[in-house]
Amino acid sequence: MQNIGKKIWAIAEGYIPADDASKARQFVSHETACILNAGAEDAHVEITVYFHDRDPAGPYRVTVGAQRTHHLRFNDLKDPEKIPADTDFSSVFISDQPIVVQHTRLDSRRSDIALLSTMAYPIS
Amino acid sequence: MQNIGKKIWAIAEGYIPADDASKARQFVSHETACILNAGAEDAHVEITVYFHDRDPAGPYRVTVGAQRTHHLRFNDLKDPEKIPADTDFSSVFISDQPIVVQHTRLDSRRSDIALLSTMAYPIS
Amino acid sequence: MQNIGKKIWAIAEGYIPADDASKARQFVSHETACILNAGAEDAHVEITVYFHDRDPAGPYRVTVGAQRTHHLRFNDLKDPEKIPADTDFSSVFISDQPIVVQHTRLDSRRSDIALLSTMAYPIS
Amino acid sequence: MQNIGKKIWAIAEGYIPADDASKARQFVSHETACILNAGAEDAHVEITVYFHDRDPAGPYRVTVGAQRTHHLRFNDLKDPEKIPADTDFSSVFISDQPIVVQHTRLDSRRSDIALLSTMAYPIS
């Protein structure tokens, strides 16, 4: 099969709503990057996070196995540092294999949930 | 008319919220791929579903008639296997005719509904 | 300025939720195509609507003035026929000038509102 | 690193819901353009806003620092004029450096919040 995706992706939107972490995990507000690696080799992905008024954080490193998907919650990133809640950010993904990246947020600060999603922007 | 769309599409996000199937069908939480075939020939589409920790499922096969649209609910896919609820997945669509694919989810686990939608990523 | 946009666009998703038309107009559930014409000439746009189990409807014709935007509600289309509620559809836009098309739905069938939006798919 | 993004972007959708400005800032309904400048030079961005029945407004000018992100609320734009609430608009962004632009709205006119997001359309 031909290559599915690109190696560099950007998400201009990023925001982790501050929420009650004692909720069930699927209802805690979260910001997610869904990464599909449909290829035959594991993909090693480096993520850099950009802020409004400080230098970028990262790189964060994740591996997405061959023919696997990884729905990465920015809330879970800890190394080299946690991403603060209630703070605007953007992110850039650089992979050694073609991947497809989609951005999704679930916001459940209020009684109901709100969702957004958009394909990330493919650079090359 | 010229070709409308591409033959290969990817959706990195996929998640069927577990919900009460006794609700009216339009309010049951669902994950949908809307497939437009604006061309003069029927489109035969093969869908492969990728998971986090197991091998891919599929191919699932659907036919979208010439000049027709098909709003496919992943909840309804049964052959070769059902897609489990509350499980992260991604999907790749391969068609023998140009199509346009858009991803939409309605989430009604709580009292109100939440919606997301994004165009799938066109590969070629 | 260079051309802003493309002349052919497709939206694979389409669905007008059946709702109470006596609500204030901004809260009635609606399906919208936002059309930007940033150019110096009026854009004449023909819209064809595709269904699951019948032949396409249209063309519907709208004009978007030079340097104007038109947020077109599919609910308002009447000529050559109304688009039924609670029915899946897709749409293709063909313009004589470059335009940018974005798809948005507001769903207020329940007590709160839900929103989705995605850029339409540019064909050429 | 190679260029991340494009210099001209368009958002066909634009709408600032009229809301109670006395709410906490993160819950006031707002329309946002998230602008990522991952490059080594500050990006100077000019924004033109298009309406349905009057000439465009602007240009509005914002600077996004090198390796910074700016989540611009249309609600906050004041110079040369405020953008009216409850009014349809579109926007075009022209930058002297490559940027990535994503469109997000939070609508909290009713008791809960609704979200939409989509990558803007890259022109060149």
> What pLDDT, on a 0 to 100 scale, did the predictor assign at position A110?
77
Among B88, B117, B121, whose Cβ lies nearest the Cβ of A69? B88
- Phi, psi dihedral angles at A121 (to 5 degrees): -95, 120
CB contact under 8 A, B116 and A117: yes
> What pLDDT, on a 0 to 100 scale, did the predictor assign at position B39?
97
> What pLDDT, on a 0 to 100 scale, did the predictor assign at position B52?
97
Handedness of CA A53, A31, A100, B67 (dihedral sign): negative
Nearest to A11 by CA among B77, D101, D2, D27: D101
Does position C97 have pLDDT exceeding 80, yes or no?
yes
CB contact under 8 A, B69 and C55: no
D4/B102 Cα distance (integer angstroms): 25
Q: What is the ipTM of this complex?
A: 0.94
Residue B78: CB atoms within 10 A of its CB come to: 9
Q: How far is CA D15 from CA A94, C26, D11, in A?
A: 34, 11, 11
Percentage of chain B exceeding pLDDT 90: 71
Q: How many CB pairs under 8 A join A and B?
A: 93
CA atoms within 13 A on the CB side of A92: 27
**Subunits with at least 3 CB pairs below 8 A relative to chain C?**
A, B, D
- Whole-number average pLDDT of chain D: 93
* Residues of chain D neighbouring A114 (CB-CB closer than 8 A): 106, 112-115
* C117 vs D1, residue with greater confidence: C117
Residue ranges, chain B, pLDDT below 50: none
Q: What is the 3-state secondary structure (H, E, C) of chain A?
A: CCCCCEEEEEECCCCCCCCCCCCCHHHCCEEEEEEEECCCCCEEEEEEEEECCCCCEEEEEEEECCCEEEEEEHHHCCCCCCCCCCCCEEEEEEEEEEEEEEEEEEECCCCCCEEEEEECEECC
Record the tokens describing residue C83, joined without a space: 């688009």
8 Å CB contact between B16 and A26:
no
Among C56, C109, C112, whose Cβ lies nearest the Cβ of B67? C56
Q: Closest-CA residue in chain A for D101?
A: A12
Q: Closest-CA residue in chain D for C105?
A: D116
Q: How many CB pairs under 8 A join B and D?
A: 3
Chain B 21-40, residues with CB within 8 Å of chain A CB atoms? none
List pLDDT tens digits, range C12-28: 999 998 887 788 888 88
Per-residue pLDDT 10s for chain D (124 aa) are 679 999 999 999 999 988 877 888 888 888 999 999 999 999 999 999 999 999 999 999 999 999 999 999 999 999 999 999 999 999 999 999 999 999 998 888 877 788 888 999 999 8
Nearest to D45 by CA among D58, D33, D62: D62
Tracing tokens 């924004």 back to the chain, one arrives at D47
C100/C58 Cα distance (integer angstroms): 20
List pLDDT tens digits, range C49-93: 999 999 999 999 999 999 999 999 999 999 999 999 999 999 999
- Whole-number average pLDDT of chain A: 93
> Is B114 exposed, middle or buried (CB count within 10 Å of its CB: 0-12, 13-18, 19+)?
buried
Nearest-5° angle of CA B98, CA B71, CA A34? 80
List pLDDT tens digits, range B78-106: 999 999 999 999 999 999 999 999 999 88
**Subunits with at least 3 CB pairs below 8 A relative to chain A?**
B, C, D
**pLDDT band at residue C1, thresholds of 50, 70 and 90?**
low
8 Å CB contact between C4 and C39:
yes
| Cβ neighbours for B22, distance < 8 A, ≥ 6 positions apart | none
8 Å CB contact between B13 and B90:
yes
> What pLDDT, on a 0 to 100 scale, did the predictor assign at position B88?
95
Residue to mutate among D117, D118, D121, D123, with most A CBs inside 10 A, is D117
**B48 bridge partner residues:** B92
List pLDDT tens digits, range A79-98: 999 999 999 999 999 999 99
Is the CB of residue B67 less than 8 Å away from at least one CB of chain D? Answer: no
CB contact under 8 A, D36 and A115: no
